[in-house]
Amino acid sequence: MSRATVSRVVNERPSVQPEIAERVRAVIVELGYNPSRVAQSLSLGKTQTVGVVVPDLGNPTFQSILHGVNQAAATAGYRVLVADSEESADEERALVEDVRRRTDAVILCSPRMRPSDLDAVLPQIKPVVVVNRDQPAHATRVVVDYAGGISAMCRHLISLGHRRILHLDGPVGSNAQAARALGLATVAFEHPEVSIQRVPCGSTIDAGYAAYEAARGSGATAVIGFNDLVALGLLGHAREEGWRVPEDVSIAGFDDIPFARFATPALTTMRVAFESVGEAAWNALQSQLRGAVDADLRSFTPVVVDRDSTGPVRAG
């Protein structure tokens, strides 16, 4: 009953005589023996653990990605180590390196570090997949196509008969707003018969409320808020003024916050399946763990969640 034998029965190697295996098992439960995973990891050269580093664990987006990664990793017998850089671009690099030292691979979500740091660190820590960042074209990445998302929403509205669409812009200079402008421009180019306007607004419920005048005065039959709060603000003001939704105007948001489906009318919006993003990140990582070397890119397009706040344009 050497330790080699014990190791063999613990790992269920067939080459152990049944009766002695049985005896070993009995002693194991009797002593409450627990093999040390740390020692196993050192001996085997792998931890069966992956790291997930995010800029803000309090952000629902990253929570969902983490959830998706964890589910997929667990299925494959891996555990997840989390780390939160708390938006510190400076500490992020050291954090990632530390996480990588304890794990077999890492998923780096929305890294805040500079491109030069990212380029430098990526080779040090592979296998690695980068989530939600445009940067290193040669890295394995999974991204969200926000521009494609807003285009999809426009096309949905167009298919409903709308020809005058208004977008309530978000914070100027924000990444999200830039993607929005791009997606809108794409649709405008594809559909010269459709008028797509934009008006400055913001990202809060109050901004949406305040955009009522501009929206109603625009002549648009469909309004897309920068996000759900904006759309909800407009929705509230529209109700107060008797501007009926969706009879007189269709209103849509973006993000699918939990409350959106409880609004009256329930808010049409766009959702990104961040759990799926996490799952895709895991899959990409796993193919690297199995030896694939190609960089690849997986892109997720937000999908339209069609509820009651949008409808066919009314024959006017």
What residues make contact with DNA under the rule CB under 7 A?
1-5, 7-8, 10-11, 14-17, 20-21, 33-36, 39-40, 42-45
From the CB of 63, what's the least distance to a second copy, in Å? 4
From the CB of 20, what's the least distance to a second copy, in Å? 25
Nearer to a second copy, 14 or 58 (CB): 58
From the list a second copy, DNA, none, pick the one residue 11 interacts with, judged by a Cβ distance below 5 to 8 Å according to partner type. Answer: DNA
From 14-22, 69-77, 155-163, 189-197, span contacting a second copy (CB under 8 A): 69-77
267 binds a second copy (CB under 8 A): no
101 binds a second copy (CB under 8 A): yes
Nearer to DNA, 18 or 258 (CB): 18
The secondary structure of 134-176 as a DSSP string is ---TTS-EEEE-HHHHHHHHHHHHHHTT--EEEEEE-STT-HH
From the CB of 24, what's the least distance to DNA, in Å? 9
82 binds a second copy (CB under 8 A): yes
From the list a second copy, DNA, none, pick the one residue 197 interacts with, judged by a Cβ distance below 5 to 8 Å according to partner type. Answer: none
Nearer to a second copy, 42 or 297 (CB): 42
From 5-13, 94-102, 155-163, 300-308, span contacting a second copy (CB under 8 A): 94-102
From the list DNA, a second copy, none, pick the one residue 63 interacts with, judged by a Cβ distance below 5 to 8 Å according to partner type. Answer: a second copy
